Amino acid sequence: MKIKKNDMVMVIAGNSKGRTGKVLRVFPEKQRVIIEGVNLVSRHRKPTQNNPQGGITRQEAPIHVSNVMLLDPKSNEATRVGKAAIIDENTGKTRYVRRSVATGETIE
């Protein structure tokens, strides 16, 4: 998966199309992510000791990773993600970083 926790993403399909937010959780085995403030659902909660009133709360639900695109850190627009190989000069080891296909900017 090219989406990681704390990435800024834009929803490109579904009811929340066009909205942006930070990735709170990633579920790689299910190919889903939870985005802050996106895909809100109502949950009916029973009264508990922590919440004696109970009631209806709103929370984020998972959305499929194919419905989101990473935001380019430079232009703040949705972009595809690619890999770039960087060779460390001191150790000679190769590591891969994510980069924006549109601008070539490295995404940390």
> What mean pLDDT, rounded, does the chain reach?
93
| pLDDT above 90 (res 92) | no
What is the model's pLDDT at position 89? 85
Structurally, the chain folds into a number of domains equal to 1
What is the model's pLDDT at position 78? 93
User: Is residue 51, in this structure, part of any structural domain at all?
Assistant: no
User: Is residue 40, in this structure, part of any structural domain at all?
Assistant: yes
Q: Which domain holds residue 79?
A: 8-44+56-107
At 29 the three-state DSSP class reads coil
